[in-house]
Amino acid sequence: MRVLSGIQPTGRFHWGNYFGAIQQYIALQGNEQSFYFIADLHALTTVREPLALREYVWDAALDLLALGLDPSQATLFRQSDVPEVTELMWLLMTVTQFSLLEKCTSYKDKVAKGISADAGLFTYPVLMAADILLYDSDVVPVGADQIQHLEVTRDIAQRFNHTYGAECLHLPTARVLKEGAKVPGTDGEKMSKSYGNTIEIFEAEKPLRKKIMSIKTDSLPLEAVKDPDSCSVFALYQLFASPEQQAILAARYRAGGMGYGEAKQAVFDASMAYFQRAREKRAELVANPTYVEGVLQAGAIKARAKGKEVLKRVRQACGLGAHAG
C-alpha cells in the first residue's frame, strides 16, 4: 500500500497542524511505500517571498524529521525536486474540464476571501492530481474538508484513461483522518495561521510561555468555580496530559480557588514535556544540515524513479515520444 501526502510550507507548523494531521501522517509510515512531500510548488500561490519560502521549506523538513518521520520508513522530498510532476500536470490539463475546476470549493472560498484568482490558484487541483497520480498512490490521507480534492483527482484520472483507452493511471482512495480533539488558538477559535492565533510546535521557550499565558479566558475571579469543559486552556491541556493528570486539573477547576494562570502554566509544562524529545531531535538536525539535505535529495531520487515509470506510461498513451516504427 503506497501512502501519499503533501504538506504546504506556508509557515511554521503549529499545534493544530500536528494534532489535526501530522501525527496521523507519521503513524501511517511503516513501509518504504510511504511518500511525503513538501509542497513548495503549491505554496507559490500564496508565498511570494523567495527567502521566506526557502526557510518555510527547510523548517518543514526539520519539523517532520524531528516529529518522527523516519527516512528508512518513508520517502521525504521537495515537490519541486521532481520535475515529472509538472509535465504530468500539463498532460492532465489537456483532458480536464474547465467546469470541473470551477466547482472546486477551495477555489471559490479563496476568491470569496479576496485572494487573487490567478491561473495557479484555479489549476491548483490539477497539480494536486499530478502529485497523487505520479506515484501510483493507493491511499491519500485527507481531512473531511479535502475529500473533494480526491474526487477531482479520480475524475481526472478516469477521464484520461477513457480518452486514451488505457488504464495507465491508478485511481487512489481517500483515507479520511479521524476527527481529533478541537485545537483552540490563543483567542479560543480554531487554531489557524489565517486567524493569527497559532502556537508553534517548536516555538522558543520564552515566547512560547508568553503566548500560552496570553490565551483568552473569561473574567471569573480566582475564588470562583470554573468549568473545564468550556475552557480552551483545559482543551489544550488535554492534548498533552494523561487521563489522570486531566482529572486532577479538572477537579482543581471545579473546586474554585484556582486562577487561569495556574492552568496555563500546566499547559506550558505539559507541552514542553510532550515535545521534549522532538525539540532535542530538531536541535540535532539544525546542527547537521548536510544530513537533512541528504534525506531530501535521496527522497527526490526515489520519487523521480517511480514518477518516471508512471510518466512513461502516460506519454505513451498520449502518443508522445519517438516513432515506434
Is residue 193 annotated as part of the catalytic site, yes or no? yes
Strand order across the 74-78 sheet: 74-78, 34-38, 3-7, 139-142, 173-176
Is residue 110 annotated as part of the catalytic site, yes or no? yes
pLDDT of residue 133: 98
C-alpha cell at position 21: 494531521
82 vs 102, residue with greater confidence: 82
User: For the chain, where do the domains classified as CATH 3.40.50.620 start and end?
Assistant: 3-182+289-318
As to burial, measured by CB atoms within 10 angstroms (0-12 exposed, 13-18 middle, 19+ buried), residue 145 is exposed
Which of 138, 182, 154 has its CA nearest to residue 5?
138
> Does the domain made of 203-274 have the CATH classification 1.10.20.10?
no
What is the spatial distance between Cα 48 and Cα 278, in angstroms, rounded to a whole number?
30
User: For the chain, where do the domains classified as CATH 1.10.240.10 start and end?
Assistant: 203-274
What are 229-244's pLDDT values in tens digits? 999 999 999 999 999 9
157 band by pLDDT with thresholds 50, 70 and 90: very high
pLDDT of residue 108: 80
Residue 107 has pLDDT above 70, yes or no: yes
Question: Which member of 103, 108, 182, 190 is catalytic?
Answer: 190
Beta strands in 13-54 (DSSP E): 34-38
What are 160-186's pLDDT values in tens digits? 999 999 899 999 999 887 765 579 999
Question: Which member of 182, 193, 281, 312 is catalytic?
Answer: 193
Which of 41, 42, 56 has its CA nearest to residue 11?
56
Residue 31 has pLDDT above 70, yes or no: no
**To the nearest whole number, what is the mean pLDDT of the chain?**
93
pLDDT of residue 318: 95
This prediction's pTM: 0.93
pLDDT of residue 145: 75
14 band by pLDDT with thresholds 50, 70 and 90: very high
Residue 130 has pLDDT above 80, yes or no: yes
Fold designation for 3-182+289-318: Rossmann fold (3.40.50)
What are 251-297's pLDDT values in tens digits? 999 999 999 999 999 999 999 999 999 999 999 999 999 999 999 99
Which of 167, 169, 236 has its CA nearest to residue 197?
236
12 band by pLDDT with thresholds 50, 70 and 90: very high
Question: Which member of 103, 108, 110, 216 is catalytic?
Answer: 110
